[in-house]
Amino acid sequence: MRCVTSVDDTLANRTADDVDRDGGPGTYQPFAHLTVEHSALYRQVMGVFVRAKQEFSVHLRPEDVHLALAAEGRPPLEVVARALEALARWGNLRADPDTGRVTALEDFYRSRYIYQLSRAGEAAEEALAAYDEALGRRGELQAVALADIAVQLRALLALAGREDPDPAVVHLALLALVDRFSGLAENARAFMNSLQRTVDLHEAEVDVFLAYKQRLIEYLERFIEDLVTRGAEIAGLLEELGVWPDGRVGPLLLLAAEREASDAAPDAAAEALAAAERRWRGRWDGLRAWFLSVPGRNSQAKLLRSAARQAIPQLLAVVQVLNERRAGRSDRSADFRELARWFAQAPDDNARHRLWRSAFGLYSARHLTIDQEALAERLEDPVPASASWYDAPGVRISPQLRRTGSYERRGRARAVQDRSEARTYLAELARKQAEQTAAARARLATRGEIRLSDLDVLDRDAFRLFLQLLGDALSAWRPGLMAVSATTNDGTMEIRLIRLPGEGTAEVHTHDGVLRGPEHLVEIVDLTVGDEADVSGTSGGEPENDVRVGAEAAGAETVGSGQG
């Protein structure tokens, strides 16, 4: 390299004091060679020792390092020797006297050393390699890891059902689960970071990006689909396993912690066990937080799904901008650069003035408003647009405009409008809507549990209210539940649903068609009527999706031309 040969006169004359001054007086700093002058040479020398270690070579002489360096721009042997001495003083290399080639008495008084990687130097090289790998990692969305996590959770659920599970099997299963989950989380984070860099227009190459975007969008859509399906399955398994220490997973985590702490010294056994329990509890809580949402905090899986969905329109927007650029459109900065080039190429100042007026439209100024008398005079005696203010006739301006800056004339305020008729109409409309809603609630109330297929024929108002109740109930449903209840936002209606597995398909007849879905027991209560309301059920809260999505989640389909 050219930069290596430039250090001949400086590095070859360095003294021990100079080396200590770079690394600090008497310090042990294996990373000091990264920030000093001629760091490129030091990195080449350390690369030679790393490759020698991989090839099971222990010691290297300065001649060996000199030959191993690249032939182009190879530094002199004296420069390599000085670099080895500096690295040894920083602690990257270990220097031992070389007595293997002594053939005369004078050789004993000559400084000859063989070098090998020190423990600190080897650790520094491993840290630098990990740093480079982390910077270059693009990450990936591992849909296969989701399936593996579900398999591991099912295995843990089977182990939790045994009376006396094997601690070794439990420990290995938990370790495999943690390892797979850690890889999934880290790769997902790295992928989203690299995806954001890909979306950046400054880093995107047009041809490469356009060829890559379709595969990337398909990749994101496939992962989102897998995350929705597998994420729901994983969330259900985590709910079944429960939390530490009361859930079914509690004894399994305790077995793993005890097995990890079994090798601790007797006087530190209690502390090791407590530390292992805290470690496994943190891992399990982190896994639950990744897939399960709690009030006030969304799960990491939900946030990742949202970020992946947002990346798709961003990619399409980038494609649109790139296509516009390829179609020959230029941005404002390119226009100004081209205009500056025209100004530089103009032959004289008159041409530059004409270019200035043409580019920025700075013609003779004209008022934005004009009265009718002046306009009539202009029609009789037109004034060309090229006329300057000095030559053009003057324009009479109202004193009010000069004084206040506005043509508006202040006067008496407008009379207050009578809106009593509009308020009466709105009150009547609200009364009719309230009556229709009350009638729909009365028709929809079931007076006890009935099957969905036993509901009466519903008109449009009752069917619309039924779909709202059904959507609230389905949004409150969680994996593993057999019954659920929900209340509307205004607190006027409550619905209770109970699953009936294997009971076939229910049909709800309406004026607009037939709604089909899995058979359930349903009870709909009008909470506004007397003490008939029983509000002991658990409210499902506000639904995350609209009613149509809730109906589709239950496997329902509407036949006919209904508006529900």
User: Residues 119-143: what's their mean pLDDT?
Assistant: 72
Top-ranked range on mean pLDDT: pick from 23-27, 284-288, 479-483: 284-288
pLDDT at residue number 401: 66
Closest CA to 176 of 299, 278, 287: 287
pLDDT at residue number 24: 44
Query: Which pLDDT band holds residue 329 (cuts at 50, 70, 90)?
Result: low
What are the start-end ranges of the H helices in 161-268?
A: 167-199, 206-241, 250-261
Question: What is the average pLDDT value for the chain, to the nearest integer?
Answer: 75
| Beta carbons within 8 Å of 142's beta carbon, 6+ residues apart | 183, 184, 187, 188
1 three-state secondary structure: coil
In this predicted model, what pLDDT tens digit does every residue of 363-420 receive, in sequence order?
555 555 566 777 788 788 887 777 777 777 776 666 666 666 665 556 666 677 888 8
Residue 92 in tokens: 């990257």
Q: What CA–CA distances, in Å, run from 536 to 168, 359, 527? A: 46, 75, 12
DSSP assignment string, 415-466 = PPP--HHHHHHHHHHHHHHHHHHHHHHHHH--SS-EEGGGPPPB-HHHHHHH
Q: Which residue has the higher pLDDT, 108 or 66?
A: 66
| Sheet containing 493-499: order of strands | 450-451, 520-526, 493-499, 483-487
Q: Domain 2-134 class?
A: mainly alpha
DSSP single-letter state for residue 32: G
Return d(Cα 266, Cα 273) in angstroms, integer: 11
In this predicted model, what pLDDT tens digit does every residue of 104-118 receive, in sequence order?
555 555 567 888 888
pLDDT at residue number 424: 92
| Beta carbons within 8 Å of 469's beta carbon, 6+ residues apart | 444, 486, 488, 493, 495, 524
Checking if the pLDDT of 561 tops 60, the result is no
Task: Quote the percentage of the chain above a pLDDT of 90.
Answer: 4
115 burial level (CB within 10 Å; 0-12, 13-18, 19+): buried
Residue 519 in tokens: 């058979």
354 three-state secondary structure: helix
Check: CB of residue 432 under 8 Å from CB of residue 438: no
Amino acid identity at 303: L
Q: What CA–CA distances, in Å, run from 105 to 95, 111, 114, 205, 301? A: 21, 13, 19, 66, 74
Least confident of 150-159, 207-216, 309-318, 521-530: 207-216
User: Residues 188-216: what's their mean pLDDT?
Assistant: 62
User: Residues 254-281: what's their mean pLDDT?
Assistant: 86
pLDDT at residue number 512: 83
- Domain extents for the chain? 2-134, 139-313, 439-560
pLDDT at residue number 139: 47
Q: Which residue has the higher pLDDT, 323 or 480?
A: 480
Residue corresponding to tokens 């840290």: 127
> Is residue 116 within a helix (H) or strand (E), and if so which, with residue range?
strand 113-117
